[in-house]
């Protein structure tokens, strides 16, 4: 994990890499199919109802989610626009309100998938250990989802 920040702003970068025991086509599909995304793309303590997901996986298409806190029902909307979609290799999107850019790269490694998430223009509040742990918990849930659907 890399979490450097720039000296003259409150923006920085985050890079996470994880290997999944599934072909990259399966891992890629999990990120562009609402029924699959709803099963893992929310940190522990939240859920992502499938009816609150919009995925139009093409450059210029919408990527919108509303995570819901399990404890009190607080909603956390996210609205992004796809910049690049290269199936099954790459997804890139920008979160409009912040200007954060996430690039997900799916590499085939002997039948497994190495997923690298690289984010730029990341505000300090999204670079905290807790925020990074939230991404890791989503990946933990993806491992479980892939195992259940193998």
d(CA 35, CA 135): 19
> Could you tell me the CA-to-CA distances from 13 to 19, 76, 92, 120 in Å, in that order?
20, 22, 15, 5
pLDDT number for residue 9: 57
Task: Provide the total of helices (H) and of strands (E) in the chain, helices listed first.
Answer: 3, 8
Rounded to the nearest 5 percent, the helix, strand and coil shares of the chain are: 25, 45, 30
pTM of the model: 0.89
Q: Token match 């025991």: residue?
A: 21
State the Cα–Cα distance between residues 41 and 132, nearest whole angstrom: 13
pLDDT (tens digit per residue) in 64-82? 999 999 999 999 999 999 9
Q: Token pair 């720039």 is at which residue? A: 6
Give the pLDDT of residue 6: 37
Virtual CA dihedral for 7, 12, 2, 84, nearest 10 degrees?
Answer: -140
The H or E element that residue 143 is part of is helix 129-148
Residues of the chain with confidence (pLDDT) below 50: 1-8
């Amino acid at each position: 994990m890399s979490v450097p920040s720039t000296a003259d702003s409150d923006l920085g970068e985050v890079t996470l890499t994880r290997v999944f025991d599934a072909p990259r086509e399966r891992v890629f599909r999990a990120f562009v199919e609402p029924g699959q995304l709803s099963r893992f793309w929310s940190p522990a303590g939240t859920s992502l109802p499938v009816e609150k997901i919009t995925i139009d996986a093409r450059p210029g298409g919408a990527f919108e989610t509303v995570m819901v806190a399990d404890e009190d029902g607080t909603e956390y909307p996210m609205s992004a626009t796809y910049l690049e979609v290269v199936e099954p290799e790459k997804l890139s999107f920008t979160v409009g309100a912040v200007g954060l850019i996430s690039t997900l790269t799916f590499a085939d490694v002997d039948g497994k998938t190495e997923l690298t998430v690289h984010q730029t223009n990341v505000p300090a509040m999204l670079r905290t250990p807790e925020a990074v742990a939230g991404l890791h918990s989503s990946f933990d849930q993806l491992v479980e989802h892939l195992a259940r659907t193998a």
